[in-house]
Amino acid sequence: MKLRKFLPYLILLLGSVVMLFPFIWMVSTSLKAPIDIFNLSIIPENPTLSNYLQILEESMFVRWFINSFIVAVITTISVLFFDTLVGYIIAKFRFVGRTVIFVLILSTLMVPTEMLIIPWYMMSSELGWTDTYWAVLFPGLMTGFGVFLMRQFMEQIPDDLLNAARIDGMNEYVIFFKIAVPQVWPAISALAIFTFLSNWNAFLWPLIAIESPSLRTLPVGLSFFSSGEAESQWHLIMTGATISVIPIILVFILLQRHIIKGITLTGMK
Amino acid sequence: MEQYSSSHHHNQENKPPQKEKKSLTHKFRGNLKYQKYLFVYTCLLLPIIFYLGIRILPTLFTFNVGFRDWNLLSTDIQPFVGFENYLTLFKDEVFIKSIFNTLIYIVLGVSGQLIFGIIVALLLHKINRFVGFFRVIYFIPYVTSIVAISWVFQWILMGNGIINDVLVNLGLPPQPFLNSPDQAIYVIIGAMIWQSIGFQMILFLAGLENIPEMLYEAADIDGASPWQKFWHVTFPLLNPTIVFSAVIGTITFIQVSFTQVVNMSMDGSGGPLNSTISVVVYIYQLAFRQFDMGLASAATVILFLFILALTLFQMKVLTKKFDY
């Protein structure tokens, strides 16, 4: 009987080891000197920060980190603003062209972004955008998913609430920011988290849009670093991986309640 | 002056002549309507430009390029060639291989992540303590960069890496893993599943919490075994979650199959011997190594139709009607 009660804990614990081991081994390797990395001990015998110092001095990880941050933040702000606004307008206003516009936006959900990389690339090089932040940014400034999500939530706001504000003489912009937005705050924060994460970790489009090493985002930089300048130097590759993974894990642990709530919220809609 | 006008206004409201009141509210409504339209269309201006210019037109453009001989390196004219690109693709063994592999990635990867996601969610649903702790641990891989994780897996699984060390110490033969044309694709799928268990777990936990306890009590009265309870209560009621997870999983796997393959396969482009190449990797090679935009576009059109068919199929097969 007792075993039956503890069995789920035991299985979950074993699973946790599988989930965490790659991270533990990554950090462990990053703290070892090059001659020690084939040593099996999980806790480094002679821990050293020399790999980190070498990477910070000789490569552009700091720069890539900043690039990723800039791209992810700008994209997230834009997506939040436009998707919420468009979702609100489609949910709460009746106007000529409403259905057409909504169907148009929804139809973009059916087309995988992989299909668009070729026209986007040709567009960027034609317009001279290649190798700028803008080239990385522009495809993600609005998302069909976000519009769809926000429309679902905006529809639940009672019309009377908005009309009361109109009778009070509030301007439509003020109504949107002061009345509508606070009502759907949980959905907005969920959208913010998803957008930030997917842009922070994006690989395919930033790989194509950027040519000069100094403008790479963190995933692209790490990929080139690992297959190029640090080839087979696993202590350096693992240090680079640690630098790109640990900050986001820390942020996740801080925000985990919101993130998990956000996924539940969007998944149930 | 202002005071006068406001008192005048009051007067009107107090004992208004019928006609004038009507026209005033009419004017007020007309003004509101005008304001609303102005708001709606100014706000939609940029989004409409964005969706047309960056989503819709490029999609149509891809179809167009797919029917042309369009190489960025060679010619300036791009002659219309009909279905020639499509014929070339279907004659190319590597392309067929990449379609086949993508299907394996999706079928094994998505079903693997669903099965493990449900198992972890069921276990978490059973226990009372440390639920939050386990949830965080299982979710961590989902938030981390696929590129970083791919390189960590390469390091763990390499010829003289830690897993092979452990195998040898246990008296087992070392495995080639990513170096083997037979094993590499399954290793990559394993890493994909490992990374997405947490996401599925959260969705299924929410699904489980929505199942009323009453149904299980009723099943207990009928003397149902735990297995019967799973198949006749839990599974049918989780159905909407399963459909949602499968569709989302498929779409993300198309994307992941590029990032993971480029960063995990030995040559960085679907090796060894094209055993891990996915359609997106194939498209990338065509478009950005050979600059053959015509062929690459045709391949993306096929990818699009492929995803569309798969999604419709999933919705149809998975959305069964259950009798309760």
Question: How close, in Å, is residue B179 to chain A by CA atoms?
Answer: 15
Q: Is residue B52 part of a domain?
A: yes
User: What pLDDT, on a 0 to 100 scale, did the predictor assign at position A43?
Assistant: 87
Both B45 and B112 in one domain: the answer is: no
Q: Is residue B36 part of a domain?
A: yes
Task: Give the 3-state secondary structure percentages of chain B, helix then strand then coil, rounded to 5.
Answer: 75, 0, 20
Both B23 and B155 in one domain: the answer is: no
Query: Which residue among A139, A234, A263 places its CB closest to the CB of B203?
Result: A263
Both B133 and B243 in one domain: the answer is: yes
Q: For residue B324, give the 3-state DSSP assignment.
A: coil
- Structural domain range at position A107: 23-267
Number of separate domains in chain B = 2
Both B44 and B166 in one domain: the answer is: no
Q: Is A114 within 8 Å of B148 when comparing Cβ atoms?
A: no
What CATH number has the domain bearing residue A60?
1.10.3720.10
Query: Which residue among A20, A26, A120 places its CB closest to the CB of B137?
Result: A20
Both B133 and B213 in one domain: the answer is: yes
pLDDT band at residue B26 under the 50/70/90 scheme: low
Both B245 and B131 in one domain: the answer is: yes
User: What sign does the dihedral A30-A36-A37-A39 (CA atoms) show?
Assistant: negative
Q: For residue B71, give the 3-state DSSP assignment.
A: strand
Whole-number Cα distances in Å, B37 to A57, A93, B34, B323? 56, 9, 5, 49
Q: From CA A109, how far away is CA B248, in angstroms rounded?
A: 11
Q: Is residue B79 part of a domain?
A: no
pLDDT band at residue B88 under the 50/70/90 scheme: very high
A28 contacts on B by Cβ (under 8 Å): none
User: What pLDDT, on a 0 to 100 scale, did the predictor assign at position B13?
Assistant: 44
Q: Is residue B71 part of a domain?
A: no
Q: From CA B76, how far away is CA A265, in angstroms rounded?
A: 51
**With contact defined as beta carbons under 8 Å apart, do B197 and B141 qualify?**
yes
Both B35 and B94 in one domain: the answer is: no
Both B306 and B206 in one domain: the answer is: yes
The residue of chain A with its CA nearest to that of B312 is: A110
The residue of chain A with its CA nearest to that of B51 is: A105
Q: Is residue A149 part of a domain?
A: yes
Q: Is residue B165 part of a domain?
A: yes
Both B137 and B253 in one domain: the answer is: yes
**Per-residue confidence in pLDDT tens, chain A, 269 aa:** 577 788 999 999 999 999 999 999 999 999 999 888 888 888 888 889 999 999 999 899 999 999 999 999 999 999 999 999 999 999 999 998 899 999 999 888 888 888 899 999 999 999 999 899 999 999 999 999 999 999 999 999 999 999 999 888 888 999 999 999 999 988 898 899 889 988 999 999 999 999 999 999 999 999 999 998 888 899 999 999 999 999 999 988 988 888 888 877 776 54
B226-232, long-range: CB < 8 A, 24+ apart = B230/B122
Which DSSP string corresponds to B115-184? Answer: HHHHHHHHHHHH--SSHHHHHHHHHHHHHS-HHHHHHHHHHHHSTTSHHHHHHHHTTPPP--GGG-TTTH
pLDDT band at residue B29 under the 50/70/90 scheme: low
DSSP B267: T
Number of separate domains in chain A = 1
pTM, two decimals, is 0.88
Q: From CA A238, how far away is CA A52, in angstroms rounded?
A: 10
Query: Which residue among A22, A117, A256 places its CB closest to the CB of B156?
Result: A22
Question: How close, in Å, is residue B149 to chain A by CA atoms?
Answer: 7
Question: How close, in Å, is residue A150 to chain B by CA atoms?
Answer: 15
Q: For residue B222, give the 3-state DSSP assignment.
A: coil
Domain termination residue (choose one: B16, B32, B66): B66
- Structural domain range at position B19: 2-66
Q: Is residue A8 part of a domain?
A: no
